Amino acid sequence: MFFFKKKQMFILLISLILIVGIIGFSLRDRSNLTMVEDFIHDSVGWLQRVVNAPVDFTTSVVANMKDIRNVYKENTILKSRLEELRQLEYENQELTKEIGELEKILGKKESDFLQNFTTIQASIISRSKDNWFKQVTINKGTEDGVEPNMAVITGEGMIGKVHASSPFTSTVLLLTGFDRSNRISVNVNQEEKTEDLSGFIVGYDDEKNLLLLEMNEDDQGLKKGQTVFSSGEGGVFPKGLEIGELVEVNDDRYGLTKIGYVKPSANLNEVNHVMVIDRAMATSDEEGES
């Protein structure tokens, strides 16, 4: 038993001496390594690469995921800000458009022509679902002096007439909703002649998106580019309200008279602010219309 213990102690001592020797030998400043050292060195390096590879890969993946998450957050913020800028741009365009409308209405209201009438300024608050292109509702009614059959205009021209009124709102029949039962007596301006041509706006051509003009009799002077305005005959519309420009002239189906097509001066699809004209305040020498 004692012999075996001495033997184990001897083997342990020899092992320690060898290990210390190997360590000392390895620590010497040498340019050439032994085969054993080369093997150990290469093995340790290979093991380090094997261990470091997945660690580096995992670290890279985590870093890339963080970058992707940061980029996603930044993109979300940028998209939100871009949407805000677009909304501000749209609101700016709408405000610019409304300011332009109001300036035109103000200029029209201060014109010499409208000094003879009481004008009621109003805003469009809705369009009829069933008659989207034919009727609109304004925010003024009988409490403000608005009555049926009053003319409604913008700064660019006439858009229609009051169809019905309630105390605080009114329905406006647009020119696109006029027909023979709501025709407008008009004159066509002839610059080279003192007497204007006369006729009626009798409806709206949905295919051409133009008003239909029928002449009374002498229509030889009818041509493109002439201005069409209310004649004041019939008792509804004051004389001199601009309606539109004559853009096309054709013979009727019988070849007896001319049919004109008139482009409205006002954009009936993009109207926000209007003026209602109280004809009762017209001067005594002006006549009405139908």
Q: Does 271 fall in a domain? A: yes
Does residue 171 sit within a domain? Answer: yes
Same domain membership, residue 57 and residue 185: no
Percent of the residues in the chain that have a pLDDT greater than 70, as a whole number: 67
Residue 54 reports pLDDT greater than 80: no
Q: For position 282, what pLDDT does the model report?
A: 45
Query: Are residue 57 and residue 173 in the same domain, yes or no?
Result: no
User: Which run of H or of E encompasses 203?
Assistant: strand 197-205
Whether 13 maps to a domain, the answer reads: no
Whole-number average pLDDT of the chain:
77
- Report how far residue 184's alpha carbon sits from residue 241's, in angstroms, rounded to the nearest whole number: 11
Q: Are residues 180 and 98 in the same domain?
A: no
Q: Which residues of 56-84 are buried (b: 16+ CB within 10 A; e: fewer)?
A: eeeeeeeeeeeeeeeeeeeeeeeeeeeee
If asked whether residues 72 and 126 sit together in one domain, one would say: no
Phi-psi label, residue 232: left if phi above 0, alpha if psi -120 to 50, beta otherwise: left
- Structurally, the chain folds into a number of domains equal to 2
Q: Each residue of 89-100: pLDDT tens digit?
A: 776 776 666 666
**Residue 199 has what pLDDT?**
87
Count CB neighbours of 197 within 10 A.
Answer: 24
Query: Which of 110, 140, 161 represents a domain boundary (last residue)?
Result: 110
For residue 52, give its domain range.
47-110
> Is 245 found in the same domain as 225?
yes
How far apart CA 230 and CA 211 sit, in angstroms, is 14
Q: Please say if the pLDDT value at position 241 is more than 60.
A: yes
Q: Are residues 208 and 245 in the same domain?
A: yes
pLDDT at 116: 72
Picking from 56, 81, 110, the residue at the C-terminal end of a domain is: 110
Whether 104 and 136 map to the same domain: the answer is no
- pLDDT, one tens digit per residue, over 68-90 is 888 888 888 888 878 877 777 77
Lowest pLDDT segment from 149-158, 251-260, 267-276: 251-260
Beta bridge partner(s), residue 172: 136, 162
In a domain, 36, yes or no: no
Q: Pick the more confident residue, 65 or 169.
A: 169
Is 248's pLDDT higher than 60? yes
Average of per-residue pLDDT across 17-33: 59
Q: Which residue has the tokens 């150990």?
A: 40
Q: Look at residue 22 and tell me if it is in a domain.
A: no
pLDDT at 30: 53
**What are 141-175's pLDDT values in tens digits?**
999 999 999 999 888 889 999 999 999 999 999 99
In this prediction, residue 107 carries a pLDDT of: 61
Verdict on whether the full-model pTM lies above 0.85 = no
Claim to verify: residue 79 and residue 211 sit in the same structural domain: no
